[in-house]
Amino acid sequence: MHLLFIADPLESFKTYKDSTFAMMRSAAARGHTLSACEPKDIMWQSGGFVTAYVRDISLTGELDHWFTAAQAKPDERAALLKNFDAVIMRKDPPFDSEYFYATHLLEQAEREGAKVFNRARALRDHPEKLAIMEFPQFLSPTLVTRDASDIKRFHAEHHDIILKPLDGMGGAGIFRVTSDGLNLGGIIETLNKDGAQTVMVQKFIPAIEQGDKRILVINGAPVPFSLARIPQGGEVRGNLAAGGKGVAQPLTMRDREIAEHIGPILAKRGLFLIGLDVIGDQLTEINVTSPTCFQEITQQMGWDVARHFIEQLELLLK
């Protein structure tokens, strides 16, 4: 197969932990051809097909200078997206206007015959924090609102809460307010921009001390291990980007219940790869843009997540 990865600049990859790199390495090991581009390299001219300026890459086997490219510059080769066997969208958040426009271009490429993973419409239809609201049976009490009085009412009811922006990533902008309500008004003003932006508020889950578990679901079925991202130094955030410690562990019965219910539903909608975030026995987020933790699980448990991803992709494309 010839695979096109749409991702952040290749030079920015931290290969010792990057999941997209792990996918590429496994694909190359199985004899597949690799190309890469960034969302900014995609274009669509009236009367033509959706096209990307791509680099055809080979892996060196090293972690630093990890690839060579046939093209010195990204704009040397234009390729139709429909001519690749698979287009793998791996651009990191934030899901901003440019990401939104990229999904429209990818959806047009799909109409032309391109096979895009995850599907463009499914990416748009499942904002990573809001998507959990479809599955209330797995959630702790959760509120989505712009209104400061709604948030204060929620705090009065639940006493210990977490507030976070809908467009945050890596634990950025997450606040905890306990029963004393200290700084609640200031935090609301910071997050909702005087009512201009929507905020998610959740009842605090004490099980965060045992970690914020990332459960990967590939082609509708869960990987048998999660990565518990355990907060360090008094933090309430377990995100690795916020200094959390990643500890791989087998899925619990509750983990499987959540993943085996949600996975097939979202796979049917075109979400080939998702990352469920679970604290204790409560779902807190559904990651659809570029779920990570492949390498950490593989290194600690010996279960090759990236190889499984490529094998499932092969099966789907047969």
Instruction: Just list the catalytic residues.
Output: 129, 164, 214, 229, 237, 277, 285, 287
**Separation in Å, CA 127 to CA 94, 136, 171, 189, 293:** 11, 16, 16, 23, 20
- Find out whether 201 and 154 touch, Cβ atoms under 8 Å: yes
d(CA 97, CA 99): 5
Structure-block tokens of residue 209? 């001390």
Per DSSP, which regions of 60-127 are E strands? Answer: 67-69, 78-80, 86-89, 116-117
Which helix H or strand E contains 43, and what residues bound it? Answer: strand 42-43
Residue 55: strand, helix, or coil: strand
- Residue linked to tokens 């200290």: 182
Chain centroid to Cα 48, Å, comes to 31
Question: Edge to edge, what strands does the sheet with 245-250 contain?
Answer: 245-250, 221-230, 212-218, 273-279, 282-287
**Would you put residue 53 in left (φ > 0), alpha (ψ -120 to 50) or beta?**
beta
